[in-house]
Amino acid sequence: MAIKLKKNDVVQVQAGKYKGKTGKILQVFPKANKVLVEGINIVKRHTKPRKQGDKGGIVEKTLPVDASKVMFFDAKVNEASRLGYKIVEGKKVRISKKSGEEV
């Protein structure tokens, strides 16, 4: 099944530690079925200095989350909604199932 979500879509997390939080999609990984969401799934990584003069330390990094755990957030009805497709004037467009409006 193809991912209907795209970059810059606002999504809401449906399961896990960040359940209920919303964020913008920064990147989509369709082969891995994952999305990178701003402010969601943040982890801390300990890094070593690699070159002379580099500083090591603790770096916060955003990791991808499974696409099945997020849902498109429809601002018109202020809740999460599924996405569908509709043909409008010969073009295929995405629509929100809750509001019925074009995304």
Domain ranges of the chain: 10-96
Task: Say if residue 73's pLDDT is above 90.
Answer: yes
Where residue 77 falls among pLDDT bands split at 50, 70, 90?
Answer: very high
**Residue 78, exposed/middle/buried by CB under 10 A (0-12, 13-18, 19+)?**
exposed
Where residue 35 falls among pLDDT bands split at 50, 70, 90?
Answer: very high
Percent of the chain residues topping a pLDDT of 70? 99
Distance, CA of 25 to CA of 10 (rounded, Å)? 6
Contact of 73 with 12, CB cutoff 8 Å: yes
Integer distance in angstroms from the first to the last C-alpha of the chain?
Answer: 20
Task: Say if residue 1's pLDDT is above 80.
Answer: no
Q: Is 19 helix (H, G, I), strand (E, B) or coil?
A: coil
Assigned CATH class of 10-96:
mainly beta
Task: Say if residue 103's pLDDT is above 90.
Answer: no
Distance, CA of 95 to CA of 102 (rounded, Å)? 4
Task: Say if residue 47's pLDDT is above 90.
Answer: yes
